[in-house]
Structure 1
Amino acid sequence: MNHEFLYDVLKPVLAVDPYLRSLWGIYSRIRTNEITQDIVLGLNRSDYMLHVQGDLCDTKRTSLANRLQSTVVATQSDIETQDEAWDGLLIRQVEFNMIACSFCGLAQRIVPQHRISLSLHGISSDLNNRVPDCFSADRFSEALLSACRMYVEDCSRRKLITSNISILVVVVCCIFRDNQEVAVVYFRTGYTPDAFPDDETWDVKYQLERSLAIKCPCIQYMLANTKIIQAALSKPKYLSRFFNPDSSSYLNILSTFAHQYTLDEEMGISDSTEIQYVINDCLLRPDNYVLKPQREGGGNNYFGEELVQKLKSIMNHSERKLYVLMERIQPYIFENSILNSTSASGELNVKKMVAELGIFGAILACKDEIFLNEFSGHLLRSKPLESNEGGIVAGYGCLDSPFLV
């Protein structure tokens, strides 16, 4: 983890955000410890949407709409896939999730359910297999197991090379539950201020972070998972610190980022001219933007008129440093059927929908050495067009499956 990069980008936010400041305080204390756990485990998900370019001519837009709509009959015939036919659609990253990534279990189970549904409607097995396999639960489980094995190997190595006094220190830093040493701490919560109501809770967080157990995610990953870090990495001057600007990887990654802006020049990401322009444009055309705070968990973003009111209320206050203004993705719209708990007698509701594709990934590393870095499955979520948020548990959207054409 690049400490200097984290500090440079987060410093202005830490001054006005008590929650992130507390996380940074724990991270700073951990860095000074003589004994630390250098093994890190990440079970992540990067979310994407198809963005329709706003300057698309009517003829091209109609052609694109007809082409994508033809996927409805993809079970009867193959669809040609010339690259030029997809001009006008861009892949845009919505966000990157590094803590408590949901639905790896259900994403794996929804595939056979949709295949069974297709079979019941007379779809052949060959076409049925166009619903791609997903082994996200298996892959994440394997990554957790690999982390446990690395922990055991690391502990054995420590006991061989340290003195008796050092061994006593190591034991103090270990976590035990029911007389069993804990190898991995997986955080299913703890990514919002509400999770830390008092000093005692913050101390529990510190004790977990200072322990030798492998954290998923570690606290530096939590700090890197903020919106301000994602905004910084969308800029060439920051992304080039981690990728060669002349490489194809650099250009491919950069092309997926929506335009993102900070609201204070002190942040070092957007200059005063850019900030003033985007604020004026946002006030005129708020539907082209989304305002994001430094929070995870969904339901925190501002859209439309709420965005305008929030923007006006924070622009003359230091609170503006807490927000990132992001180009709003204009997703491709399609029709689909939804069966949910509100459907009467199992009746299907046909609605205009948009979809969001999440790509699961697992990484296991120690300092500069990477032991595991792999694609771990996918998650497709569809939601009604009128919904700004896409959370499944919150009731905004539903689980779906891709159908490859």
Structure 2
Amino acid sequence: MANSWGSLLQNEQQLEELAQQAVDRALAEGVLLRTSQEPSSSDVVCYAPFTLFPSLVPSALLEQAYAVQMDFNMLVDAVSQNAAFLEQTLSSTIKRDDFTACLFDIHKQVLKEGIAQTVFLGLNRSDYMFQQNADGSPALKQIEINTISASFGGLASRTPAVHRHVLSVLSKTKEAAQILSNNPSKGLALGIAKAWELYGSANALVLLIAQEKERNIFDQRAIENELLARNIHVIRRKFEDVSEKGSLDQDRKLFVDGQEIAVVYFRDGYMPSHYSQQNWEARLLLERSCAVKCPDIATQLAGTKKVQQELSRVGVLEALLPGQPEAVARLRATFAGLYSLDMGEEGDQAITEALAAPSRFVLKPQREGGGRERHL
């Protein structure tokens, strides 16, 4: 759809000048990343990649995405609370994927001991693509749902101003005014704030599990700043810090550096490279606590692609969301085809179809941060 904006440009020089203005505005608005060369230093930054023009989204599809998001949240919660479904669905995956197996092992240990937390928080992000129907109309299709470390809410909050500026430079003020304001960092912070409130300890803190070398720190700081404006304090710690300075009391309350933790917000822990044996032990300690985890380990498992594939099977949504036919219909309308690559007849059939028409398929990694999707 970018071609719809391309007609506004007269030549290559105008494009280059407009791009430079857009970059300067992005820097001024705080659409920032740390550079890959100096990821530990806040004073060396670059702009985060962004499109020169805003993406055109049909209003009907935008409304559809709004309408179905609560259904997806309820579905993820239902999956995370259904231990039998998770075990059955992931049984083949944990045999071949050590990372998922380690997550599932912690999940089983927590279930055996008894889940201590009573409040559960999910901050989920749905990713969509448009599919062209036979009549040429676009359809909304969900590619994946992110249940851990869903990022770029902070930077997305600042991007509309950049696109308004670009269109205003081109004297398209009417179009600029149509760009919707979007403040997901505030919404994410409100979710954490509500979990903190329900935990019920005014002096407890929010613990953000962070990577040592974090390029996307400004995205995270936006949420931290929203929380601080509500007088909710956040401390940033690595898994190693939790291992060395974290503890549980007799009621399984979590303390780090002697401070009680109400909410654990993960911006790390979604890739195998994020874990050493020490880090796995720290994750278990966090999961055993009564602090609100965002996400708890069952919700992280609910976001795997194998679970997403299982949800597309006939009758599965109805079993997980009984008595909610309207929600099931809204969810199923967004499903793209999902196919197993497990050994056996079903996997063989999927591979045969993919080889016969590779342009119709996208290969997705099993977990978050495990790589980019690949067109076959």
TM-score by length of 1: 0.58
Q: Distance in 1 between matches of 2:304 and 2:186?
A: 28
Which of 196, 200, 204 aligns to 1:152? It is 200
Picking from 126, 133, 154, the partner of 1:46 is 126
SS in 1 for 2:321: coil
Q: CA deviation at 1:176?
A: 2.3
Match of 2:43 in 1: none
- How many angstroms does 1:275 deviate by? 4.1
**Distance across 1 between alignment mates of 2:309 and 2:195:** 30
Following the alignment from structure 1 to structure 2, what is the Cα–Cα distance between the partners of residues 37 and 155?
Answer: 18
- Alignment of 1:91 onto 2:140: yes
Contact 2:271–2:370, Cα closer than 8 Å, also in 1: no
AA of the residue aligned to 1:150 = L
Query: CA contact under 8 A between 1:244 and 1:250: conserved in structure 2?
Result: no
How many angstroms does 1:155 deviate by? Answer: 11
Q: Larger relative CO (CA 8 A, sep 6+): 1 or 2?
A: 1
**Structure 1 contact 245–251 (Cα < 8 Å) conserved:** no
TM-fit CA distance, 1:18: 1.5
The 5 A counterparts of 1:187-336 are: 187-197=266-276, 199-244=277-322, 247-264=325-342, 272=345, 275-297=347-369, 299-304=371-376
Distance, in Å, in 2 between the alignment partners of 1:254 and 1:185 is 32
1:134-173 matched pairs, under 5 angstroms:
134-152=182-200, 169-170=250-251, 173=252
Partner deviation per Cα, 1:361-394 (whole Å, 9 max, x = no partner)? xxxxxxxxxxxxxxxxxxxxxxxxxxxxxxxxxx
Aligned equivalents of 1:278, 1:211: Cα separation in 2: 42
User: Larger C-alpha radius of gyration, 1 or 2?
Assistant: 1
Q: Does the residue aligned with 1:100 lie in a helix, a strand or coil?
A: coil
Letter in 2 for 1:285: A
Deviation at 1:113, TM superposition (A): 2.3
Distance 1:27 1:6 in 2: 10
Aligned to 2:165, which of 116, 132, 136? 116
Q: CA offsets, 1:321-380, max 9 Å, x none?
A: xxxxxxxxxxxxxxxxxxxxxxxxxxxxxxxxxxxxxxxxxxxxxxxxxxxxxxxxxxxx
Identity of matched residues, %: 34
Aligned partners of 2:360, 2:115: CA distance in 1, in Å? 49
Change (3 A) 1:28 1:155: farther
Deviation at 1:245, TM superposition (A): 7.8
Equivalent residues of 1:43, 1:140 under 8 A apart: yes
Q: Distance in 1 between matches of 2:324 and 2:192?
A: 35
Matches within 5 A, 1:297-376: 297=369, 299-304=371-376
Pick closer, same or farther for the CA change 1:230–1:212 going to 2, 3 Å: same
* Alignment partner of 2:93 out of 10, 13, 30: 13
The alpha-carbon deviation at position 132 of structure 1 amounts to: 0.8
Separation in structure 2 between the aligned mates of residue 247 and residue 155 of structure 1, nearest angstrom: 43
Unaligned segments of structure 1, at least 5 residues: 62-85, 157-166, 267-271, 305-405
Q: RMSD in angstroms over aligned alpha carbons? A: 2.5
- TM-score, normalised to structure 2's length? 0.62
Which residue of 1 is the match for residue 179 of structure 2? 131
| Bigger share in strand | 1
What is the distance in 2 between the residues matched to 1:301 and 1:119?
Answer: 35
1:161-200 CA-partner distances (Å, limit 9, x unpaired) = xxxxxx9611xx2222343211111111111111113x22
Q: Secondary structure at the match of 1:262?
A: coil
Structure 1: distance between partners of 2:327 and 2:291: 33
Higher helix share: 2
Unaligned runs of 5+ in 2: 1-80, 205-247
Which amino acid in 1 is paired with 2:296?
C
Q: Secondary structure at the match of 1:112?
A: helix
Contact 1:100 1:189 in 2 (8 A): yes
Deviation at 1:300, TM superposition (A): 4.2
SS of equivalent to 1:92: strand
The match for 2:149 among 96, 100, 118 is: 100
C-alpha offsets along residues 121-155 of structure 1, whole Å, 9 cap, x if unaligned?
A: 3334x543310111201111111111111112599
Structure 1 residues 201 and 30 mapped into 2: Cα distance closer, same or farther (>3 Å)?
same
Structure 1 residue 293 displacement after superposition: 3.3
Report the equivalent of 2:44.
Answer: none
Contact 1:184–1:215 (8 Å) recurs in 2: yes
Q: Structure 1 residues 178 and 301, CA, compared in 2 at 3 Å: closer, same or farther?
A: same
In the TM superposition, what is the alpha-carbon distance from 1:46 to its structure 2 partner? 0.3
Letter in 1 for 2:196: C
Distance 2:361 2:326 in 1: 29
Residue type of the alignment partner of 1:135: N
Count how many residue pairs are aligned between Structure 1 and Structure 2.
Answer: 253
Shift of 1:34: 4.3
